[in-house]
Amino acid sequence: MIHARIRALAPGARAALAVYLLVLATATHWPKLQIDAPIQRPDLILHFGAFCVLTVLCLFAQLGGPLKSAPNLVIGAGLSAAYATIDELTQGFPALHRHVNVSDWLANLGGVAIGVGVVLLVPLGGGAPERR
């Protein structure tokens, strides 16, 4: 059944989440990071995408129960939003020569929302919902 296959993805998603958090923390706290692109504020696209991926990984890790269960959605999105906030605030440390920006934080939260939407679109097929 598809529910069992999705549940079986949780350990791999948890491992990928751990690695992704290390990569994300490094990338978002790299001192004096400059992004040269032909558009203004390309970092907003990166923030949006990075936190969408983070949220999808959190939800597939199934830290709160089955993939689309309310507890899993609240815990996964909540952890992603909390990390988005902490991540943005810690960029204000003077040694990093970075800055805290509300638009970056809002892009992070937008990515969290889209990540939840992506997971809600995952088809689970027929059959009875799984129970834990």
Which residues, 6 or more positions from 92, have their beta carbon under 8 angstroms from its beta carbon?
98, 99, 100
Q: Which of the four pLDDT bands, split at 50, 70 and 90, describes residue 100? A: confident
Q: Which of the four pLDDT bands, split at 50, 70 and 90, describes residue 81? A: very high
pLDDT tens-digit series, residues 15-44: 999 999 999 999 888 767 777 778 777 788
Q: Which of the four pLDDT bands, split at 50, 70 and 90, describes residue 93? A: confident
Query: Alpha-carbon distance 42 to 49, whole Å?
Result: 11
Please provide the average confidence, as pLDDT, over all residues in the chain. 89
Q: CA angle 80-82-87, nearest 5°?
A: 90
Query: Alpha-carbon distance 7 to 131, whole Å?
Result: 11
CB of 77 closer than 8 Å to CB of 55: yes
Domains in the chain: boundaries: 2-29+40-120
Query: Alpha-carbon distance 42 to 60, whole Å?
Result: 28
Query: Alpha-carbon distance 108 to 80, whole Å?
Result: 9
Position 85 scores a pLDDT of 96
Q: Which of the four pLDDT bands, split at 50, 70 and 90, describes residue 1? A: low
